[in-house]
Structure formats: structure tokens, C-alpha cells
Amino acid sequence: MLTHLVTPLLMCIGMGLAYLGAFAHPAPHHMPVAVVGSSRSAQLLAQSINDKAGGDLEVRTVAHRSTAVDQLKHQDIFGAYVPKGDGSGKGRGGAGDGNGQARVSGNAGATGDGRSPGEARSAGDGRSPGDGTAATPELLVATAASDTSASVVQKIFTPLAAQQGAPLKVTDVAPTADDDPTGQGIFFLLVAISIGSYASVAVIGGAGAVLPIRLRAALAVGTSFVVSLIGTAFAGPVFHLVDHGLWGLWGMAWLYSAGILLIGTGLHTFLKRWTTLGVMALFVMLNFTSSGGIFRPEMQNGFFAALHSFWNGAGFVEGVRSHVYFDGYGLSGHLWTLALWLVVGVLMVGVAALAERRRRSAEAEAAANAAAVAAAAVAATVPEPAPKPVRGPVDDGVEEELEEAVGV
């Protein structure tokens, strides 16, 4: 019994290391942001923030507000600060603490009009035409890319606006759906689809172990179709996480689920009772934490940020964001990620089929050898019958003589 407790204990250790390692201490790491303006003061402000950030931020300058909006919608940056007036920040690059440092403000969660970052929308922004400056400081964000990143950027730039003597106006250039104000509903949709997929692996691999591998693979593909339909229903008519693009979301959900199910079905041939732990490590511990659904890679350490570039959960989350909120920009790359994981699943099933074929051949050969050995053992233990005497010509002559003697 104690040996069966190894699996849940390993799950506990793995989940703790993964989730706490990824989410316990979120902080920006080279997060790209921008200062809008082409003047010398805007460049000095950007350089000052960059120097004080110590690698947490990568601050650039863009000449026009429209350019900053485009970069936000392409997720090249995650915040753009439009300074008041000439953007000089009253000659200092700091955050109003007396020494010019950009601090994190505790009350940065409120926008200039009292709304939360996810609720701020583009409105009359009071900016002067042409030069990218504003009558009041403005921060451009895209909460659809990441609500947590938008909140962090707001905390960084709120003190700069305070130093200019004006509340910070926050404009969301890529808002999320009304029923998903934080944009994290896509992450929880990922969780639901993932659980439906990897839990089905245990059923197909366990109860269906007696079936040929091709039938198990067909069951995996069919199950992924059902799981993707359930996920699409959650995203659309049930919870309204997205307000358009449901067919595209369904396609990505199917690619994602089919990849997990095929990989898990193939792995069961080799891992047996350890399959559940294996798929949880792949598609929960490493997958959820690197998906970018809660914190983007710019808010995580290097390990999970690197996984984000090619893991299937990140492909699904970023693909749905791109499809629904960013007019498909970068969508092809995320689709390729999901397709490659599906290819890995097909290859895994193929490898499992070869392994099972060799295993069956080895078992058949072993059974034949065992039968031969058993037959030899039986033959060795049963005595052979005594041979009958062979009569030759001499014996026949003697018998004739005896018959003649008897007749006489």
C-alpha cells in the first residue's frame, strides 16, 4: 500500500515546485515599455527610467501615440507613457519621491477617472495633435495581452504622473470581453480542456489497454473532438468569455486537446501506471505555469519564460488572444506550435505501436520456446515402450520345423 502513495506525494512535490516557482514572486524582467515623444526631454525621461529600473524594464521612445498603439496591439510593448506637455516630466525622470526613482505606488490600481485598468477605455484623452504629448499624463495599456502586466506598468508610471501634478489617465487600447474583464477566463478555459484531455488518457490507456493501438488512437481523437466542443461551449454561450471567433477557438481547442490525448495514449505503452503522473508533469505542472494566462513571460523567471516560447498551453492561450483581441497578429506562429505538438502525439502513437508489435512478437516467441521446453520435459519423464522382436529368415525356418514336429 505504501508504494501506491508515492504517486500522490510526487504530484504534491511537483505541483508545489511548479506553481510556487512560477507564481510566488512575480516581477518584471526586461519588460518592454515606451515613452511617447521625440523631444530631448522624452529621451532623457526614458533613459532615466531605464537606468533606475536595473533591468526590470526596457524603455524605448516612440515619436507618435499612434505608433505606441500599434506596438501595444502587436505586443511589442506592454505600456506607453504619454507625458504631460512636452513630456519632460518637469525636468526629472523620477517618480516624485525626491530622488528621481521610479517607485511602485500602492494606489496605482485606480485610473484617472476612478476606473480599474480593465475598465478604462479609449475616450477623449486631451492630447495635443501631432506631437504625441498630452494635456494630462496618459498611460496606454492593452489588458487583453495581460491584465497583470497592465497593472504592473500602471504602478510604475503612476508616480511619474503624480510628479507632474496630475492624475494618470489610463487608456485601454485592447480591452477584453465585458464578461471577462481580467482576460484570465482564457486561462481557466485552458485548465478545463487540459483536465478533460489528460484525465481521458487514464481511461483510454487503462480500460482500453486490451484494444489495438489504432483503436485507442481513434478513441483519443474522438474524445478530443468532444472535449473541444465542451470548451467552446464554455467560452461562448455559457460564460461569454469571448464575443466572436468561436470557430477559430474551437479549432485551437481541438488541436490542443488532440495533442495531449495522443501523447498520453502513446506514453501509456511505456509508463503504464505512471502515465497519470507523466501527463500531469507535462500538461499541468509545466504547462499551466508557462502558458502566460496569469503572468506573461516578462513577469516570470527565465525557465518558465523559455517554456512559454514553445509549450502547447502557451500556444493555445496566446493563439486565442491573438485571434480574438489582436486581429490575428502572430496567430500563425501559435497555430504552428499547436500543430507541432499534435505531430508529436502522432509520432508517439507510432512509436508505441512499434513497441507493442515487438513486444507481441517477443511474447509469441517466448511462448513457443516455453511450449518446446515443456514438450521436451514431458518426453524425458515418460518411458518408451519395449520394442517388439524382429523376426528374420532363421526364425521363420525354426517355426516351420516346430510345426512339422508337432504335426508328426
272-297 pLDDT per residue, tens: 989 999 999 999 999 999 999 999 99
- Residue 108: pLDDT over 60: no
Q: Which three cell numbers stand for residue 258?
A: 488532440
List b or e across 174-202, with b for residues whose CB sees 16 or more CB atoms inside 10 angstroms.
Answer: bbbbeebbbbbbbbbbbeebbebbbebbe
**This prediction's pTM:** 0.80
Q: What is the mean pLDDT of residues 13-36?
A: 94
245-to-116, 118, 319, 324, 389 alpha-carbon distances in Å? 26, 21, 12, 6, 96
> What is the per-residue pLDDT for 161?
86
- Each residue's pLDDT tens digit, 224-268: 999 999 999 999 999 999 989 999 999 999 999 999 999 999 999
Read off φ and ψ for residue 399, nearest 5 degrees: -65, -35
Residue in 278, 304, 320 with CA at minimum distance from that of residue 190: 320
- Measure Cα distances from 191 to 2, 25, 153, 242 in Å: 30, 22, 27, 16
pLDDT band at 5 (very low <50, low <70, confident <90, very high): confident
Percent of the chain with pLDDT over 70: 81
Instruction: Decide if pLDDT at 127 tops 60.
Output: no
Output the average pLDDT for the chain. 84
As a whole number, mean pLDDT of residues 310-317 equals 98
The pLDDT confidence band at residue 93, using thresholds 50, 70 and 90, is very low
